[in-house]
A = this chain, B = another copy of it.
Amino acid sequence: MGTMRNKTKGNLIVISGPSGTGKGTVCQGLIKELTNLQLSISATSRKPRGTEQHGVDYYFLTREQFKSMITANQLLEWADVYGNYYGTPQQPVVDAVNRGVDVILEIDVQGALHVKSKYPDGVLIFLIPPSRAELARRLKNRGTDNSGDIEHRLQSAEREIKEIRKYDYLVINDDLGDAVKRICAIIIAERCRPRLFDMELFLQCY
Interface, chain A (partner B; CB < 8 A): 1-2, 4-6, 125-126, 130-132, 135, 157-158, 161-162, 164-165, 167-172, 174, 178, 181-182, 184-186, 188-190, 192-195, 197, 199, 202-203, 205-206
Quick check: A161 and B203 within 8 Å, CB to CB? Answer: yes
Residues from chain B with a CB closer than 8 A to the CB of A181 are 1, 188
Residues from chain B with a CB closer than 8 A to the CB of A167 are 194
Quick check: A161 and B206 within 8 Å, CB to CB? Answer: yes
Docked Cα-Cα span, A131 to B204, in Å, equals 9
Minimum Cβ distance to chain B for residue A9 (Å): 13
Residues from chain B with a CB closer than 8 A to the CB of A2 are 178
**What are 18 A-B contacts defined by CB distance under 8 Å?**
A1-B181, A5-B172, A131-B206, A132-B205, A135-B206, A161-B202, A164-B199, A164-B202, A165-B199, A169-B189, A170-B192, A170-B194, A182-B192, A185-B185, A185-B186, A185-B188, A186-B189, A189-B189
Residues from chain B with a CB closer than 8 A to the CB of A206 are 131-132, 135, 157-158, 161
Docked Cα-Cα span, A54 to B162, in Å, equals 47
Docked Cα-Cα span, A182 to B184, in Å, equals 11
